[in-house]
Structure formats: C-alpha cells, structure tokens
Chains A and B, each alone.
Chain A
Amino acid sequence: MTNNFVNGVLKGDPLSIARVITMIENNHEKAIPIIKTLHRHTGKAHIIGITGVMGSGKSSLIYELAKKYREKNKKIGIIAIDPTSPFSGGALLGDRIRMMNLADDENVFIRSMGTRGMLGGLTSAVYDTINILDAAGKDIIMVETVGVGQAEVDIVKIADTTLVVLVPGLGDSIQTIKAGIMEIGDIFVVNKADRPGVEQTIAELKTMLDLTRIVTERETPIITTIARERKGIDELINEIEKHKKYLKKNNMFEEKRRKRYETELVEIIKRKLTSLIFDETNLKEKIQSLTDQILKKEIDPHTAAEEILTRVIK
C-alpha cells in the first residue's frame, strides 16, 4: 500500500495526493512510512506564504497569482487554512469560493484545511502537506493562513517568501498589527487599492518598516494590487521572483529551508511527546482524581503535573 501511494504522489495523481493528506490530517499511522519515503523527493518547490488581516483579499490574490503562474506553465499547489471551531471541532472552509475556476485546471491542486486546534494561523498537518505537494512536482506552493491579528506569524517559519496583505481604510490597522506581523513580510501587498486611503496606508507602512527594519541591503517592497481587476499581479510576481533570486544569491534559501526542517522536527517531537503522555491509559482518570485533589487543596497543580510526568517518562 505504501508503494502505491508513494508512486501515486510522485506521478502527481490527485487522488493519491488527497488520500495521503487526509491520512496525515487524521494522524493515521500508515501515512508515516509514505511521508518518510517522500522526503528525498522534496525541496524543489518555491513555498509562498500569504498572510494578512481578515477580508484583505488573500484568496482572490492567490487565485490571480495562480492564473498568472499557470500562464508560465508552473504547476501549482494551494493550501488554504481556515479556523476550526474550538467548541464543535467543525470548520467552514470557504476559500475555494474565490478560486472557483481553478477547479477546471488539473495542474492546480487546492486543499482546504481546518486549523484543528493549532494556534499560529496554521495546522500541524501543513508541513507534511507541503512535502506531499512538493514531491508531487508542484513548482509553486502557496499557503494561505487564517486571517491574522498579531500572533499568527508561524508562516514565516515554513515559507521561502512571505507576503503580508493589507487593505487601505482600516484606520490605525497598521498600528494594531505592528508587533508580530510587520516583522515577517518579505513583500507587503496593499490590496483593494481602488479604495480611498491608499497613499496614507503606504506612508504608514513605510514609516513602520523603517522603524522595524534590521539593516540589510534589501528594501522590503510594497506592491499595490486590485486583485479582482487583476491589477498589480505582474508586479507582485516580479517581486516574488526577485526575492527568490535574492535568497539564492545570498545563500539564504538553504538557511530558510534549514530553519523549516528544524521547526518541523521540533513539531514532530512535541506531537509525539504529547501523544505519548496523553495516550497513556488511565491518564484521564488520573487527571480527574488529581483535579479533585487540587480543588480540595490536597495537592497543587505543579506537583500534580510532576506526578503524572514521572509516571509516563521513565
């Protein structure tokens, strides 16, 4: 079975790609040998992260970028992430609405994913999903994060090029998001640039970038686009390609990849450790009884945690 799936993915067969992603999302143990074998076939794709505030037009922008890349005959993978409800565990994944006509093109593979409890704007399955699409021969892989506020900056750890998408007219929006997200953009996009307030947004953005910029030879470009009218898309692709060349020239491409693998490795260890602890039988009962004791002040939470951990990790 492993071989069938590996061969299917390497041939770019959509059904195999889709099934392996599902197995990964569901933590199916059969996916692991497949992923292991695929690793040495990865590393060719250019991974582009697209992040930004809610309603800034990330999906529409991806749609236009994908169409342009298709004209250049590039094969495309798109991972569109939307939030999973922490209450019901369900998710409404609606990014495809803006990418509708890409469903006609067999060289575009789109996968919608719920965050499934992961913070940071991504899902824990995103690493392996990128690897699967990469091994399947996609030249460009675009990852759309959930709409971000301040803390959803994990995309920068996995993307080669990160786009931060903003819109004019949000008033002090740049002020509110300055902390994390202003530091991760390789390229800033001001979308919906037919709206009033573009100049002000760009001016604010420039000031902010000057304040936070670490001294490098590269100035962070700001591109204005109107995705729905296909304006600014060529310029944006141009900047993305320029950024890739810049990374390669300065040996930063390898460095970025290294960082991604490091993050991935740590994530896997964390996940395995968590399941090692929580899959332990009787743990639920133990937690319940310890919680009762904490409530009665017979034990404190720290001692209780230590008690559980010494039981599991010997």
Chain B
Amino acid sequence: MEKKIRVLVAKPGLDGHDRGAKVVARALRDAGMEVIYSGLHQTAEQIVRTAIQEDVDVIGLSLLSGAHMTLFLDVIKLLKKHKMNNVIVVGGGIIPEEDVPRLKKEGVAEIFGPGTPTDEIVDFIKKNVKQ
C-alpha cells in the first residue's frame, strides 16, 4: 500500500494575497504530496466540506487580513463537529506572536510566519501526519 499525503491549501475570508499560499503549495508538491489548492475567499464551511470530499490529511490556512482568530478557529470547530480528528491544521500569513498560543491551544498544530523555510513546513507535515 502506497500512502500519499494529501494537503488542502486554502485562503479563508476576504484576503487576496495568495503568493505565500502558492509558494507553499508548490513546495509541498515538490516534496511528493498531493496538494489541492481551492482558491481565494473561502468560507470555513467550504474549506471543511472540501477537506471531507478530498479526504486530506492536512489543511494549510493562509491569512493576512487579521481575521485568523475567527476564521482559523471556525475551521477547527467545524472539523470537530464532523469528527475529522485526524486532520492536522497548520496556519501561515501575518499572525501576531501573541495570538499563537491561543490558536495552538484550540487545535492549530503550528503557525509558520513569513520567512519560514519551506523545508521546515514539509518536515513538520511529514512528521505529524498520522499514518
């Protein structure tokens, strides 16, 4: 059996800055993963529904608008509601230091800020996906 890691890269809410999400998507692809990029302006419901249909192991959320406390946590809540407990959620974008502990406490596995080497994200995902 050959298991392939599947990742959904999504941009929640009203934020059109997708360069970072695209760079990460490419890096994950080059690391041998299947990356579903779902485009801009997604609601938490759309993201979770997509994650279910695509049966992903990881959701990568990118947000630069400041609404991460609401939108990231909405995604986490919906995942719990659908009993998708084995899906890892990671975040990136502009996330202030002081918000990180709360996000992690609520279930975001890791936050990768600007300047993170993509290898670091690849390694984290490979290490943390439950096989």
Given contacts A15-B52, A104-B46, A111-B53, contact A88 B32 (CB under 8 A): yes
Instruction: Given the known inter-chain contacts A15-B52, A103-B46, please indicate yes or no for A25 contacting B1, CB distance below 8 A.
Output: no
A100's partner among B1, B4, B39 (CB-CB below 8 A) is B39
B1–A96 CB distance below 8 A: no
A100 touches B38 (CB 8 A): yes
Task: Kindly provide the distance from the CB of B117 to the nearest chain A CB, expressed in whole angstroms.
Answer: 18
Q: How far is the CA of A27 from the CA of B1 in the complex (A)?
A: 5
CB within 8 Å of A: which of B6-35?
A: 6, 25-26, 28-35
Contact of A88 among B1, B3, B31, B37 (CB under 8 A): B31
Known contacts A90-B32, A96-B39; is A112 also within 8 Å of B54 by CB?
A: yes
Choose among B31, B42, B47, B54 the residue that contacts A90 (Cβ–Cβ < 8 A).
Answer: B31
Docked CA distance A120–B53 (Å)? 25
A103-B49, A106-B49 are contacts. A94–B54 as well, Cβ < 8 Å? no
- In the assembled complex, how far is the CB of residue A218 from the closest CB belonging to chain B, in whole angstroms? 36
Contacts of A93 in B (CB 8 A): 34-37
Q: Does B97 contact A (CB under 8 A)?
A: no
- Asked whether A110 is an interface residue with its Cβ less than 8 Å from the other chain, the reply is yes
The segment out of A16-24, A204-212, A221-229, A264-272 that lies at the interface is: A16-24
Pair B50/A103 contact, Cβ less than 8 Å = yes
Q: Say yes or no: A14 contacts B54, CB within 8 Å.
A: no
- Nearest B residue to A28 by beta-carbon distance? B1
- How many Å lie between the Cα of A18 and that of B43 in the bound state? 21
- Encode contact with B along A1-41: 1 for CB under 8 Å, 0 otherwise: 00000000000001101110110011111000000000000
Contacts of B47 in A (CB 8 A): 103
Q: Does A150 contact B (CB under 8 A)?
A: no
Digitize A68-91: 1 where CB-to-B-CB distance is under 8 Å, 0 elsewhere: 000000000000000011001111
Bound complex: CA A91 to CA B6 (Å): 9
Instruction: From B6, B29, B50, B52, give the contact of A96 (CB < 8 A).
Output: B50
User: Which of A18, A100, A103, A106: most chain B Cβ within 10 A?
Assistant: A103
Taking CB atoms, residues of chain A closer than 8 Å to B35 are 90-93
B50: which A residues are within 8 A, CB to CB?
A: 96, 103, 110
B81 contacts chain A at the CB level, 8 A cutoff: no
- Which B residues lie within 8 Å of A90 (CB)? 28-35
Whether A100 touches B42, Cβ cut-off 8 Å, given contacts A22-B55, A25-B4, is: yes
- The verdict on A188 contacting chain B, using a C-beta distance below 8 Å, is no
B51 to chain A, nearest CB (A): 9
- Looking at the assembled complex, report how far the CB atom of A158 sits from the nearest CB atom of chain B, in whole angstroms: 21
Q: Which residue of B lies closest to A25 (CB)?
A: B4
| Smallest CB gap from B6: residue in A | A22
- Chain B residue nearest to A23 in the complex (CB): B1
Interface pair A89/B4, CB less than 8 Å apart: yes
B34 — which chain A residues lie within 8 A by C-beta?
Answer: 84, 90-91, 93, 112, 114
Q: Shortest distance in angstroms between A81's beta carbon and chain B's nearest beta carbon?
A: 12
Interface centre among B3, B26, B36, B49 (most CB of A within 10 A): B36
Partner of B53, one of A18, A28, A92, A114: A18
Q: A93-B35, A104-B49, A110-B53 are in contact. List 7 more A-B contacts (CB 8 A).
A: A18-B53, A18-B54, A88-B32, A92-B26, A96-B36, A96-B39, A112-B34
Residues of A within 8 A of B (CB): 14-15, 17-19, 21-22, 25-29, 84-85, 88-94, 96-97, 100, 103-104, 106, 109-112, 114, 116
A-B contact pairs, 21 of them (CB 8 A): A14-B53, A18-B53, A18-B55, A21-B55, A22-B6, A27-B2, A90-B30, A90-B32, A90-B34, A92-B25, A92-B29, A92-B35, A93-B35, A96-B50, A100-B42, A103-B38, A103-B45, A103-B49, A104-B46, A112-B34, A114-B34
